[in-house]
Amino acid sequence: MRDPVILPKAKQSIDRTTIAQHLLSDPRCPFTSTPLKIEECLPGASDAAEAPLTTQTPSSSSASTSLSPSAAPVGCARPMRARWPSMRD
């Protein structure tokens, strides 16, 4: 979110441009259906300030798990090969 705001009654964080566009067509809060004006929205902390960007590396257990077509998950049938009749006649 570039410019997060907090909706006063719903206590939900949403981008200012998103809620402004919503309020153009419907002057109510999308979560509580109470009347809402853009001026009533409280400034919110940006996601970047709350949680720094981190990259997750796959753990050793998930790295060994393969999702190749030959390894079907437990409980799932393997893909069937189409068998067409011979066209030699």
Q: What is the reported pLDDT for 53? A: 44
Q: What is the pLDDT of residue 22?
A: 96
Which pTM does this prediction carry? 0.51
pLDDT of residue 51: 47
Can you list the residues of the chain whose pLDDT is less than 70? 46-89
Q: 1-45 has which CATH code?
A: 3.30.40.10
Q: What is the pLDDT of residue 1?
A: 79
State CA 5 to chain mean position distance.
Answer: 19
Kindly list the strands in the beta sheet with 13-15, ordered across the sheet, starting from the edge strand earlier in the chain: 13-15, 4-6, 42-43
Going from N- to C-terminal start, the domains of the chain cover 1-45
Q: CB–CB of 8/42 below 8 Å? A: yes
In whole angstroms, give the CA distance from residue 4 to residue 62: 34
- At 44 the pLDDT is 87
